[in-house]
Structure 1
């Protein structure tokens, strides 16, 4: 479901075709089937951690171009042009601080229409929180109401899938607004 490769994953960390993270999400009635699937281009490692930090936190926007070929190829392996592309938004404060939205930069690599239909309240950075704190984070997303979502299939775009909380919160808002299906596509799976 989340796209985590099972190679090298201990048997105790998976159940059938799901990793234990996905099992926990699916066992929770509030979150079951909110996010159809996630697919990621790369796995998180020390090298990728450095690259993402340079790009995202030190403002080296041009690094995104290095991902273009792999990002496009992997997107079209799992999705097609009929999906609405929705980048995970930043709060106004975070956008001002960073200077760009990394999820939108990734979405632009696909050369498909982008739908900015979510807004986000400002909270503490997810990267500063523990796993437990991330899982308990309140939903910071709102649907803008800019377009009807009935019968729409959506792909959320983000940089990193860590616990899945951010993507599921956004997916839940879009499902409540009428979206038929919400999946996600990220650059990295932690």
Structure 2
């Protein structure tokens, strides 16, 4: 039985989950209360080559701030079940969007990798970020006109890939990653993000 999270990871409320035979066989324990879960808005517009779980609202803005910038790495567990469910039957190899090595040292952990680890999903690093400049500091026009952000790290062995990132805003990051993978020999590349901005 999972007993690691007795309180909601977001608000601290005691989790009052009823223990049943189903609870005992669940892959993931409950990590947040129903009230906090209800504050996240599902993203309903699906596209052929991109899927997202949630829209960017105030609750998600607060979550990202705490997780990424306050270094609250345990919050990677908040969406572990949802990410596992959307990607567990994926036949394509998952490729996370990487951080620049200097940024990784500064932040101390990779938020994208930690989301996948919490969701118990296999992935392969095939991309290397070539700039330390964050897309979040740029205007929409600057993002759309950004030079290539990535280069291939290693060999593209699989023919089909799914890129994973935390948020899709203008699509620049995802599109740059897709372009470099396709140029390296990938047959097809789709993408999944936790959030659609």
Could you state the TM-score of these two structures normalised by the residue count of structure 2?
Answer: 0.73
Spell out the pairing of 1:1-190 with structure 2 (5 A cutoff).
Answer: 5=44, 37-76=49-88, 80-149=89-158, 152-190=159-197
Q: Which has the higher contact order (CA 8 A, sep 6+)?
A: 1
Give the Å deviation of 1:145. 2.9
Contact 1:94 1:122 in 2 (8 A): no
Could you state the TM-score of these two structures normalised by the residue count of structure 1?
Answer: 0.75
Aligned residues: CA RMSD? 2.0
- Unaligned ranges ≥5, structure 2: 1-41
Report the 3-state secondary structure (helix = DSSP H, G, I; strand = E; otherwise coil) of the residue aligned with 2:109: coil
Q: Distance in 2 between matches of 1:113 and 1:68?
A: 13
Q: Distance in 2 between matches of 1:54 and 1:110?
A: 19
Q: Computing the radius of gyration over CA atoms, which structure comes out larger, 1 or 2?
A: 2
Give the Å deviation of 1:56. 0.6
User: How many pairs align?
Assistant: 156
- Unaligned ranges ≥5, structure 1: 7-16, 19-35
Q: Kindly tell me: are residues 135 and 86 of structure 1, through their superposed partners in 2, closer, same or farther at Cα, counting changes over 3 Å?
A: same
Report the 3-state secondary structure (helix = DSSP H, G, I; strand = E; otherwise coil) of the residue aligned with 1:47: helix
